[in-house]
Structure 1
Amino acid sequence: MRERYPVLEVDITDLSHDGRGVARPDGKALFVTGGLPGERARVRLTSRHRHYDEGKVEELLRRSPDRVEPRCPHFGGCGGCALQHLPAERQIEAKQRVLAENFERIGKVSPREWLAPLTDQPWGYRRKGRLSVKWVDKKGKALVGFREDNPRFVADLGVCHTLLPEVGLRIEALSQLVGSLDARREIAQIEIAAGDATVALVFRTLVALDQADRERLSAFGRTHDLAILLQPKGPDSVHALWPERVELAFRVDGDQLELQFEPLDFVQVNAGMNQRMIVRALELLDPQPADEVLDLFCGLGNFTLPIARRVARVTGVEGEAGLVARAEANARRNGLDNASFHAADLTLDNSATPWARARYGKLLLDPPRSGAAGVLAHLPRRGTDRIVYVSCHPGSLARDAGILVERHGFELARAGVMDMFPQTAHVESIALFMR
């Protein structure tokens, strides 16, 4: 028989890095989904562990003055958001505390100056995303949404207020669309990819679709002005269904540059925040006409090309060859001949390669969640006196900050957070290191 855990009455004193309240009954940490600091609540335990327990608010006995009503009716069931019950200005404050704690605890460093947090629109910002799809016989419908807290289950959504409205307000319509297909059981996910002018949906299909299903999908695209693409196998199998040709692009750097991308390419999720982030990165990097700059984990040129407009030469390095090809094409398309790109696995030692042996006065890093420890084993070289580090994980940034300060003689001059993912506990940040 499954154990039914007890209900505890606790005071919530803190907010965890993943957006849960923290209580300490009898001194043991209890992570409380739906709880905020300053609240007293009846909490149902959901799991026990050796060093901590987990639970969920069943009843609030004292509310935090910061608590607001979640905008989304699915908040608490859908795993896509963690902080809708906290105002946006308090969310970003919490994220800055997470970054500061990681610097102190992991990197044993702190910035000389904190940057003002960067924020943008807190709703309808998400231009990239992956919706899971599951046909449920018992419900007689297709579930379309993000995963629940238990990732085995797809949240039964009717709306999503963090996605671009073109998609977020059409979740129910997408559910009905999938339910109308002969292959309703063979649609695994829907990838969202939006440029400035086009919003595309990529349907991951487990079987080849018959003509009737293809026509239903095309009609949906025409009705809602959405580009429809199919992915029957791996990423290389993505192809347009309607219209025949789909081009995705976004403009940056005061609309002076246009970057084209493929639907499954990595681009920054939040278009407005990306614009602000590029401006801040350039301010911190301080590019000058004679500078030689190295941009690592450069993707399709999001930072590289704005830098190229201001310096003598910039070199971009990226692990995915397809993104390197897109970056080179974007440089040509924008008339930039002082940007060169290389494909390399940046978790390995590339110190013998010509691009790594060259001299760069300035370095920009924008690594994945795992950070840049592999790169920092052999870079930066002498002569690099300024590094801008853009991070999507505060723990890896803090670890790498310790490496740059202790092993390479840099100072953590400035750092701050950027609200790339409002309503979630995701912490995006940026830091300036100076020799």
Structure 2
Amino acid sequence: MAQFFTAKTKKKNLISAKMTLNVTQLDHIGAGIAHHQGKIVFVPGALPGEDVNLQLVEQRKNFAKAKLINVVNPSEHREVPACPHFDECGGCDLQHLNLEAQHQYKSDTLSNLMAQHAPLEKVSKSTLTGEAWHYRRRAKLATSYNKQTKRLNIGFRKISSHDIVPINECPVLKHSLNALINPLVKQVNKLKDRKTLGHIELIEGSNGVFVIIRTPVSICDSDKQALVDFAHANQVNLQLQHENEFEVLAGLQLKPSYTLSQEVNLKFQAGGFVQVNTEINQAMINQAINWLEPEEHERVLDLFCGMGNFSLPIAKLGTYVIGVEGVDSSVEQARINAQENDLKNVEFHACDLSSDLSAQPWLRKIDKLLLDPARAGAYDCLKRLKELNPKRVVYVSCSPTSLARDTSILLSYGYQLQKLSMIDMFPQTHHTEAMALFVKK
């Protein structure tokens, strides 16, 4: 039988001559959009309204990517980036845009995506915003040993690269973590076995500051003692991580934790998922509870519950909560957190939420539903939940694209989108989070 093939569009990396283009808007990942010879041109670092000098560095059939050379006429919203590593580091990509304009861009992006799937005329819109700097309570620093300099580079990945940008500060980290970077880099580079070290995790918890150093192979005793001395001098808890095992070198706390205004304390494992923005996470929980309107006689199902970030504050109000999560270690931690907070009106189950849920013992009559899925969204899960028929659904999303797609399912089940909130969990970046309230007609 004859086979027919369609040739794929080839990527052409020929660099064009310099040209000047006008930027009209930002795309969903914060790059400027211009037009040239019928093609969309993506220009990272450019802002709407600016004329910019650039070179095309990648050309496809319908679009091109460009390198920004300089800005001819800066936007009124342009700012000088506060971080000295901005030009290289791939972490914060919107520091050149002032905070008010960042919020407007994220709100517009969310509304434009949602409008493709639901009418927004009668939807109540809001925003959750907080401090622009020093908001992250956790960071994972990458490491790479340089054989020429014999130094261990510590920092974040470069833009579109696996190479590491060595850093001496990070102004989006909590002050306690930011202040640790320089002394930590100096100390680590005095260790004999420094080239064997993996990533380094920094965490600020309610119970102290934690430094967790991944060590794929064991390090010598003198290095361990040097790290103990460093920990005592800087008053931090310090642990070595070998696979999933943790060796405590300094400090009495085994796990970091954080305390919520609902008088709930949650412990979490280093390396596991936790919301990194302390202020916004609390505001997000408050808003979810306010929208969900849980009552003592009701049953609330919390899907993708993690280690209980939403489940336990809701259970604290007296409502019975069923939390379901696909990561076994998170479910185990959620159960421990429930026990340590003396909450008996909550149960947790481990389950792959993209699988067939029909035989699951926890799938019983509920009154309200909360979802907090990963970036892939809850499409497969929602297709199997029509029979539950909750009165209210609160959907917390780290991907507006997935939320917009999943909205279509909920509308087909007879729900109305009543409220929509842009959540600025990560200021100085293009990342947009959201919360939506769906109410049964």
The TM-score, its normalising length taken from structure 1, stands at 0.94
Show CA shifts across 1:256-314 (max 9, x none).
11111222221101011111000110111011122111000111111101111224411
Matched, 1:268 2:279: no
- 1:62–1:113 Cα change, 3 Å: same
Q: Which residue of structure 2 lines up, in the alignment, with residue 425 of structure 1?
A: 430
Q: Which residue of structure 1 lines up, in the alignment, with residue 417 of structure 2?
A: 412
From 116, 122, 143, give the equivalent of 2:132: 122
Q: Decide whether the 8 Å contact of 1:15 with 1:37 is kept in 2.
A: yes
- 1:211–1:257 Cα change, 3 Å: same
Q: Which amino acid aligns with 1:257?
A: V
CA shift at 1:22, angstroms? 1.0
CA shift at 1:139, angstroms? 4.4
Q: Which residue of structure 2 lines up, in the alignment, with residue 400 of structure 1?
A: 406
Q: Which residue of structure 1 lines up, in the alignment, with residue 264 of structure 2?
A: 257
Distance 1:155 1:184 in 2: 18
Q: Which residue of structure 1 lines up, in the alignment, with residue 54 of structure 2?
A: 43
Q: Decide whether the 8 Å contact of 1:111 with 1:412 is kept in 2.
A: no
Distance 1:387 1:43 in 2: 46
Give the ranges of 4+ consecutive aligned residues of structure 1 lying more than 6 Å apart after TM superposition.
Answer: none
Distance 1:339 1:46 in 2: 55
Show CA shifts across 1:190-211 (max 9, x none).
1223312312121112321001
Show CA shifts across 1:342-392 (max 9, x none).
111111111221211x11110000001111112112114244121000000
Q: Decide whether the 8 Å contact of 1:363 with 1:388 is kept in 2.
A: yes
| Secondary structure in 1 matching 2:227 | helix
Map 1:347-366 → 2, pairs under 5 A: 347-356=354-363, 358-366=364-372
Q: Decide whether the 8 Å contact of 1:141 with 1:176 is kept in 2.
A: no
Q: Which residue of structure 1 lines up, in the alignment, with residue 255 of structure 2?
A: 247
Q: Decide whether the 8 Å contact of 1:7 with 1:42 is kept in 2.
A: yes
Q: Which residue of structure 1 lines up, in the alignment, with residue 306 of structure 2?
A: 299
Q: Which amino acid aligns with 1:158?
A: N
Matched, 1:322 2:329: yes
| Secondary structure in 2 matching 1:411 | strand
Q: Which amino acid aligns with 2:396?
A: V
Q: Which amino acid aligns with 1:32?
A: V
CA shift at 1:178, angstroms? 2.4
Matched, 1:371 2:384: no
Q: Which residue of structure 2 lines up, in the alignment, with residue 13 of structure 1?
A: 24
Q: Which amino acid aligns with 1:56?
A: K
CA shift at 1:4, angstroms? 4.1
From 229, 246, 257, give the equivalent of 1:238: 246
Map 1:222-237 → 2, pairs under 5 A: 222-232=232-242, 234=243, 236-237=244-245
Q: Which amino acid aligns with 2:247?
A: H
Distance 1:187 1:34 in 2: 34
Q: Which residue of structure 1 lines up, in the alignment, with residue 439 of structure 2?
A: 434
- 1:371–1:46 Cα change, 3 Å: same
Q: Decide whether the 8 Å contact of 2:14 with 2:57 is kept in 1.
A: no
Q: Decide whether the 8 Å contact of 1:349 with 1:374 is kept in 2.
A: no
| Secondary structure in 1 matching 2:177 | helix
Percent identity between matched residues is 36
Show CA shifts across 1:82-120 (max 9, x none).
110111221121111111122133x35537324321011
From 156, 159, 171, give the equivalent of 1:149: 159
The TM-score, its normalising length taken from structure 2, stands at 0.93
Distance 1:405 1:383 in 2: 12
Q: Which shifted more, 148-157 or 48-57?
A: 48-57
Map 1:50-89 → 2, pairs under 5 A: 50-89=61-100
Matched, 1:333 2:340: yes
- 1:7–1:178 Cα change, 3 Å: farther
Q: Which structure 1 residue ranges, 5 or more long, are not aligned?
A: none
Distance 2:51 2:284 in 1: 38
Show CA shifts across 1:1-44 (max 9, x none).
x8544322111110111111111122311111111111111013
Q: Which shifted more, 380-389 or 30-39?
A: 380-389
Q: Decide whether the 8 Å contact of 1:141 with 1:175 is kept in 2.
A: no
Distance 1:49 1:189 in 2: 36
Q: Which shifted more, 201-210 or 61-70?
A: 201-210
Q: Decide whether the 8 Å contact of 1:109 with 1:401 is kept in 2.
A: no
